[in-house]
Amino acid sequence: MTGLNTSHLQISKNTIRVAGILEESIVDGPGVRLVVFTQGCKHHCTGCHNPETHDFSGGYDIAIEEILTMLKENPMIDGITLSGGDPFEQVEPCSILASRVQELGYDVVAYTGYTYETLLKSRKYLQLLQYVDILIDGRFEIEKMDLTLAFRGSSNQRILYMQEQKEPAPLFLAI
């Protein structure tokens, strides 16, 4: 815990606090993706490319239904990417969005500054992780920056296919 006060985060199940939405991207996961840049991040990595997403009181609220409409209206889209910020700071609305996205037949990529191992220790994080197909984990470490890496900024970050994990999350317990 960092001791940061995040009580001002919106708690609606129907909206997500975002820094912005990118309706088409080919650099935030496989295929063409709709990217949701969630607002709020505690990691403060040196060299972060999205510092405007750190402030939990920044950004704006967007209805989950509005994001789903964007997805359904664009036949080019292969899936959705939850980026940030850190989507694991808004597990409740992000898990609702991710579950709805999967129900529609799309896949879900999520970025996080936490490691997979850290996420596994918390029921709160598992609430979202259970709906993630590909997790890209770990803080951005500027001394390990590598511009040749696909979908990642530094070599400590991993692309983890959730179905291939030897020790899958103890999910999917009733949360």
By the rule CB under 6 A, 40 interacts with ligand SF4: no
Please list every residue from 45 through 74 that binds ligand SF4, using CB under 6 A. Answer: 45, 48, 50, 53
Cβ proximity to ligand SF4, 35 vs 68, nearer residue: 35
Q: What CA–CA distance (Å, rounded) separates 18 from 60? A: 6
Please list every residue from 134 through 153 that binds ligand SF4, using CB under 6 A. Answer: 139-140
Q: Among the candidate windows 6-14, 39-47, 120-128, 141-149, which touches ligand SF4 by CB under 6 A?
A: 39-47
- List Cα–Cα distances, 108 to 6, 42, 132, 141, 148, in angstroms: 25, 22, 5, 24, 23
Q: What CA–CA distance (Å, rounded) separates 149 from 169? A: 26
Which of 24, 26, 27, 44 touches ligand SF4 (CB under 6 A)? 44
Please list every residue from 70 through 89 that binds ligand SF4, using CB under 6 A. Answer: 84-86
